[in-house]
Structure 1
Amino acid sequence: MSSRVGLRFFQNSRAAFRNVQRRFGIQRRFQSSTVAAEHQSTFQRLWNSPIGVKTVHFWAPVMKWALVIAGISDLSRPAEKLSLTQNGALTATGAIWTRWCLIIRPKNYLLAAVNFFLGCVGVVQVGRIYNYRRSLEGSATEAAKSMEHELVDSAKEAVIKAEAAVKKSS
C-alpha cells in the first residue's frame, strides 16, 4: 500500500510539473510543443528546434567561420603586412564572444567554438607581429612600446571620428 502512495505522489507531481512547463512555455531542447514530437525523427527535431538549422543560432557560426579561414590564410602573409589593430580586434572579439556564448540562453556551443578559434587565430597573428617588431628593434620592450603606441593612436583616432560624427548629427 505504501508503495502505491509513493507512486501516485510521483505521478501527480510529475503531471503538475508538466503543467507548469506548459503554462510558462518551458521546453526542452529539440522538443516541439506538440504531442507529435515524440514521433519525430532526430532530423525533424533538429529542424524544428529553437536552436536548429532554421535559426540564427546555427547560421551565424557557419558564416563566422569565414573570418577564421581568412585569419588562417593570413598565416602565409609576411608579418610586416599584418595589421595589429585588426588582429587585436579579432583576438578581443573571439575572447569576449566565446564567454558570452556560454552565458546566453540557449547556450550556443557552435558559436562559442568559432569564436574560440577566431581568438586563437588573432593571438597567433599578434604574436607574429610582436616577434617581427622585436627582431627589427632588438628588444622586447621596444617592440611592446611601439605596438602599444600604435594601438593607442588608432583608438584616439576612432574616438575623434566618433565625436565628429556625433557633433555632425546633432
Structure 2
Amino acid sequence: MSFRPGSRIFNAFRPFFRQQRNQSTAAPEQSGFQKLWNSPVGPKTVHFWAPIMKWGLVVAGASDLTRPASQLSLNTNAALMTTGLIWTRWCFVIRPQNIFLATVNFFLFLTGATQTARILMYQRSLKGAEGQAEAEGREIKEELRVVAAKVEGAVKS
C-alpha cells in the first residue's frame, strides 16, 4: 500500500489532508450577546476586563472631588492625567482597537486633569495669601513703631 498522490487510498483520505477551497461556508448570524462574547475585545479577553478594573481609578478620582485640595497629591493626580492621555492615544494604535479602553483612559485623563488644576489653583492661592499676609505684617510693624515712638515721647516728657 502506498500513499502517493493519485493512488486510490490517498484519494480516499483526501478530505483529511486538504481542505476544499471552493466551499462557501457562511457563518450563522449571531445575536448581539454572541457578537460581544466572541469579539476580540469581549468578556473572554483581557481587553474587556482591564478597562472594567480601570474604571475603579476613575470612580476614586471622581470621589476625590469632594475632598479639599490641600489633601490631594499633585504627583499622583499628574501621573493619572498623563497615564490617561498616553493610553487614550495608544488605544487607537493597537490592534484590535479597543474603544472601551480608550473611553476609560480618556475619563482617567479628565479626572486627573481636573484634580491637578484644583491643586495648582489651591497652591497659587496660598502664595497669594502669603504675599498679602507679608504686606499686612509690614503695615502693622510700621504702625507699632509709630505708636512706640509716641509712647516713648510721652514717657520722656
TM range (shorter): 0.5 to 0.7
Asked which structure has the greater RCO (Cα within 8 Å, sep 6+), the reply is: 2
Match of 1:116 in 2: 106
Report the counterpart of residue 45 of structure 2 in structure 1. Answer: 55
Please give the TM-score of this superposition, normalised by the length of structure 2: 0.64
Show CA shifts across 1:1-24 (max 9, x none). Answer: xxxxxxxxxxxxxxxxxx7xxxxx
More deviation in 116-125 or 41-50? 41-50
Say which SS state the counterpart of residue 62 (structure 1) adopts: helix
- Checking the alignment, whether the CA contact within 8 Å between 1:37 and 1:45 is kept in structure 2 is no
Q: Does 1:72 align with 2:62?
A: yes
Shift of 1:99: 0.2
> Partners in 2 of 1:98 and 1:111 — Cα distance?
8
Q: How much does 1:36 deviate?
A: 6.9
Count of aligned residue pairs for this structure pair: 106
Tell whether 2:50 aligns with 1:44: no
The secondary structure found in structure 1 opposite 2:41 is coil
Offset of residue 49 of structure 1: 1.7
Larger radius of gyration: 2
Once the 2 structures are TM-superposed, how far is the Cα of residue 50 of structure 1 from its aligned partner?
1.6
Q: Aligned equivalents of 1:44 and 1:80: distance in 2?
A: 49
Cα shift at 1:45: 2.2
Deviation at 1:71, TM superposition (A): 0.1
Q: Which residue of 2 aligns with 1:165?
A: none
Q: What is the CA–CA distance in structure 2 between the aligned matches of 1:123 and 1:100, rounded to whole Å?
A: 18
Deviation at 1:38, TM superposition (A): 2.2
SS at match of 2:27: helix
Computed over aligned residues only, the root mean square deviation of the Cα atoms, in angstroms, reads 1.6
Which residue does 2:79 correspond to in 1? Answer: 89
Counterparts of 1:120 and 1:39, CA distance in 2: 39
Could you tell me the TM-score, scaled by structure 1's length?
0.59
User: Match for 2:86: what amino acid?
Assistant: I
Q: Which amino acid aligns with 2:97?
A: K
> For residue 36 of structure 2, what is the amino acid of its counterpart?
L
Gapped regions of structure 2 (runs ≥ 5): 1-20, 130-157
* Identity rate, percent: 63
Q: Deviation of residue 108 (structure 1)?
A: 0.4
1:33-78 deviation digits (Å, cap 9, x = unpaired): xx57323322112211221111111111111000000000001111
